[in-house]
Every structure is written in C-alpha cells, then in structure tokens.
Amino acid sequence: MVRSRATSRTSASAFARLALILTLIAAAPGPTHAAETGGAPAADKTLWIEAELQPDTLHVHAQARYTLRLYQAVSVRDLSFHPPESALAEIRPAGESVRELTRDGQRLRVTERRYAIFPFASGSLQLSGGHVSLRTDGGSASERRIEAPALTRNVRPVPTGLRPEEWLPARTVTLNEFWHPDMPQLRPGQPLRRRIRVEAVGVAAAQIPPLHIGADGFSIHPEPPRLEEREEDGWITGIREQTWRLVPRQGGDFRLPALQVQWWDPVAGQPRQATLLPRPIAVMASPGERAIATDEPVVAAAAAALAPVQPAPSGTTSRRTKAVGTSAALLAAIALLAVGATVMRRRATATLRRISRACRDNDPIAARANLLQWSRQIGVPGQGGLLTLAHRVGGTATGHELAALDRHLYGEQHQPWNGQQLITALCSEHHEFQPWRLRWTTGGAANVLRPPKRSWRPRPSR
C-alpha cells in the first residue's frame, strides 16, 4: 500500500513537469512569415501587418518602394494607414490596392498602401513609425494601432567619376520624338515643330535634366517644358516634354544630330544611355534665294570689267599719265558703285514685289520668307524674326499686322490670314510701298507690281 502511494506521487510529479514544459513551449514566440518580411503578426491571427522595402540595394535620389500590407480576417472600420518617417529621405504616397486570398484555409482581405522613398543622402537609412489604426466591428469601440517594425537599409552614394548633372538613377529610360508636320516638304521660313518626350521610371520629373538640341541652318525657338508624373504599381514615372519650333533659314539638305540621355541602372549597377538617331531634313530652295544668287555674278562681272588697268612701272611716267590713270580709276569706282546701286535697287524692288504678291495671295509662308529677306536688305542685325523687324521698321499698324502674321504661323490654332491688311499697313507707314513707287496692276497672265506710267498731255499753244 505504501509502495503504490509512492508510485502514484512520482507519476503525478512527472506529469506536472511535462505540463509545465509544454506550457513554456507554447508560450515561446516562433518564427513567422511576417517576421521574415518585417511584420509583426497579431496573436489572434485575425489582424496583422507586414512591411516591405524594395529593392534591397538603394542609391541616392533613386526611388525605393515601401509597402504596408494589412491582413484581416475580420471586418474593420475607420481604417487609416500612416507612412514611416525618416530624416534622410522624401516620402510620398504611391498608390494602394485591395485583394483577397486564402492562407491555411482562412480567407483574408489584404489591403496594401505603397509609398515612394527618395533618399537624399548616402549612409544608413532607417524607416520607422509606419502603422495602421482601425476599429473592429463587433469588438471594442476603442481604436487599435498596429505597428510596423523599423527597417534599415544602406544607401550608396553617386559613383565616382559621375557629375551631378549626369546622375539619373532610373529603372528604365525611354526617348520618343514627334514631328508636326511629319516628313514635310519644307521651304525656307516654314516652321517645323519637334517634340521630345523623356519617360524615366523610378525618378521624379524634376530630376530629368533639360534637353539641348542642335540644328545647323535652322533658327530654334524653344517652348516652356512640361513636367508630369504618373504612378504604376508603386513606382513613380517622371515625364519631361520639350518642344521646339525649327525654322529653316535657307534651302538645302540638313542633318539633325543624334540626341543622347545618360542614366544609371541601379538594378544592374552600370551606366546606360537612351538615344535618338540623327534625322535628315530636306528644305526646298525658295525662288527668292535663286534670284539673289544670280545677282552676285553680275556685280562680280561688272567689277572685273570696270577695274582699272595698272600701268607698267616706269621711271619716265609723266604727270599727265598719272592724272589720266587717277581719273580712270575714279570713273571705274563711280561706275562700280552705280552698278552695285542698280543691282541692290533691283533686288530690293523684287523683294518688295514678292512681299506684295504674297500678301495679295494670302500666302503667310511666302510673306514671312520675303519679309525676312527685306529685313536683311535693310540691315536688321542677327537672325531676327517678324517681331524684330516690326521693332526696327516701326509703325503701329505694321507692328500689329506683323505680330498677327507671327501668331498665325506659330500659334496652336490657325485662322485664315488676310494679307491685304498687312500690305495696307506697309503702304500707309513706309514709303517703299507707297503707290507712287509701286502700284497694283490687274492685267496680263500674272498680276505683278509695276512702276506707274506718266500720263502725257499736249502743251497748250501760246
């Protein structure tokens, strides 16, 4: 009897120790998927949160994606996400999504809130303070707060040898260009619009450097750039659009050089570049250019024909021979000046007639080309446009009409252009266009401007 009682006490003690061991094992925290990804699961397995930061390797000014992911097996209300905080990074919202899944036989609702992280300093980056606040239906009315654990990553600096303006850390960079009109038949003075669009994933729009284009033979008129950003799956895509108006100054075959944008691939850890290939552009020569080209040999031939013959050196040259040579040289110079003045007058008159004809035909392209030709003839410096010409020649009505022509050529909305208003303003404010110098004639196969004929009247007999 005594032996049986001792055996029973020993068994009870062993069972007590075994129960204590099992209790301690059950109470000890074990590894979970949430802990591996930076989460802190709730003990009741109905609400928990995960935090994730991508990519693992960060660079200065390169975007990282931070995701807060809430798993819920119960209904909640007053749900609010709060981003992490950091003194060394800019943090901005980058979208959210909601989905459902089944895990271990339990149906869960998963709500994700994504944030774009832009580190602006190298070294250790710590993200802490991210959490979710909510209230559960059917439970306590008090607000619950579920904290996300702090995450720490190392941020790499700008690689050695790269200048700050060359540092564009992006996941992808694409270049696209658009032309209006596309593949045109250009003439001198006809504007061509070129628009280039840069899209860089993983950087803000303000980080994309300005573009600079070259175009020999063209005057370039840039427009203000347009910056835009869009979000897709938590990644920010910066967009920069720049537009230029290219106006050919003369006819010929031109080749616009290639355009390159240097960028850094943080995933591969190496530099890359996006390129737009060179583009050939053919510009047809205008009739005005051909007429001007044919005038130059006239002046050269006249100068060669009228150049004085240098006498052979002789020690017995008389004073009379020197006087004759000086007179001949003076006459040749006067004749050369007269020929040059005649050629210049003929050239200016032809230009004025072409301006008037373009205004009569309501042809804004030809009017602009010939107005700029007139601008060069009267000595307007540089490669100015219509507004520069208006400032030089003066006249309120002329300036107003030249500005209207410029808006018609370069404006977004083209309205019919009335050239009669421009020629009327020129005739009223500038003597070159006045009727006693040039007048309209309406006869023949082509209407041109001709000098007025003087009317003849017989003299009265005395």
More confident residue, 301 or 148: 148
pLDDT band at 295 (very low <50, low <70, confident <90, very high): very low
CA angle 270/276/280 to nearest 5° reads 155
The CA-based dihedral angle spanning residues 31, 35, 36, 39, taken in that order and rounded to the nearest 10 degrees: 160
pLDDT band at 112 (very low <50, low <70, confident <90, very high): very high
pLDDT band at 441 (very low <50, low <70, confident <90, very high): very low
- Among 319-328, 351-360, 399-408, where is mean pLDDT lowest? 319-328
**Residue 263 class from Cβ within 10 Å (0-12 exposed, 13-18 middle, 19+ buried)?**
buried
Helix 364-377 and helix 287-306, axial crossing angle in degrees, nearest 10: 30
What mean pLDDT is predicted for residues 318-346?
Answer: 68
More confident residue, 190 or 172: 172
Using one digit for the tens of pLDDT, what is the confidence trace for 236-272?
999 999 999 999 988 888 999 999 999 999 888 889 9
Distance (Å, rounded) from C-alpha 116 to C-alpha 244? 33
Question: 33-156 and 164-283 share one CATH topology?
Answer: yes
Please report the pLDDT score of residue 184 as a whole number. 64
Please report the pLDDT score of residue 410 as a whole number. 62
Please report the pLDDT score of residue 320 as a whole number. 63
Domain ranges, ordered by start, for the chain: 33-156, 164-283, 287-308+328-446
Query: Alpha helices of 311-461 — where are they, by DSSP H?
Result: 319-360, 364-377, 386-393, 396-410, 419-429
Residues ≥6 apart with Cβ < 8 Å to 359: 367, 419, 420, 422, 423
What mean pLDDT is predicted for residues 391-415?
Answer: 74
Global pTM reads 0.55
Specify the 3-state DSSP secondary structure of 249: coil
pLDDT at 317 over 60: no
- Residue the block writes with tokens 């004085």: 308
Largest CA distance in the chain: 182
Under a CB-based contact definition with an 8 Å cutoff, are residues 250 and 152 in contact? no
Please report the pLDDT score of residue 454 as a whole number. 45
Distance (Å, rounded) from C-alpha 253 to C-alpha 278? 13
Distance (Å, rounded) from C-alpha 371 to C-alpha 384? 11
Residues ≥6 apart with Cβ < 8 Å to 65: 53, 54, 94, 114, 115, 116, 117, 234, 235
More confident residue, 6 or 47: 47
Q: Cite the beta strand spans of 20-171 per DSSP E.
A: 40-41, 47-54, 58-59, 64-72, 76-82, 89-103, 106-119, 123-127, 131-136, 144-147, 151-156
- Here the tokens at position 444 are 């023949």
pLDDT band at 293 (very low <50, low <70, confident <90, very high): very low
Please report the pLDDT score of residue 173 as a whole number. 96
What mean pLDDT is predicted for residues 43-69?
Answer: 89
- Among 50-64, 165-179, 425-439, where is mean pLDDT lowest? 425-439
- Here the tokens at position 129 are 């303070």
Q: Which amino acid is at 74?
A: V
Helix 396-410 and helix 386-393, axial crossing angle in degrees, nearest 10: 180
What mean pLDDT is predicted for residues 341-363?
Answer: 78
Please report the pLDDT score of residue 430 as a whole number. 79
What mean pLDDT is predicted for residues 79-105?
Answer: 91
What mean pLDDT is predicted for residues 182-197?
Answer: 85
Residue 284 DSSP code: P
**Residue 200 class from Cβ within 10 Å (0-12 exposed, 13-18 middle, 19+ buried)?**
buried
What mean pLDDT is predicted for residues 387-391?
Answer: 75
Please report the pLDDT score of residue 447 as a whole number. 41
Residue 413 DSSP code: S
For residue 19, the surrounding DSSP H or E stretch is helix 2-27
Please report the pLDDT score of residue 126 as a whole number. 92
The CATH number of domain 164-283, selected from 3.40.50, 2.60.40, 3.30.310, 1.10.10: 2.60.40
Distance (Å, rounded) from C-alpha 201 to C-alpha 401? 46
- Here the tokens at position 322 are 């020197």
pLDDT band at 71 (very low <50, low <70, confident <90, very high): very high
The DSSP bridge pattern shows strands 151-156 and 58-59 to be: parallel
pLDDT at 294 over 50: no
Query: Mean pLDDT of all residues in the chain?
Result: 76
Please report the pLDDT score of residue 428 as a whole number. 83
pLDDT band at 18 (very low <50, low <70, confident <90, very high): low
Please report the pLDDT score of residue 302 as a whole number. 44
CATH topology of domain 33-156: Immunoglobulin-like (2.60.40)
Specify the 3-state DSSP secondary structure of 459: coil
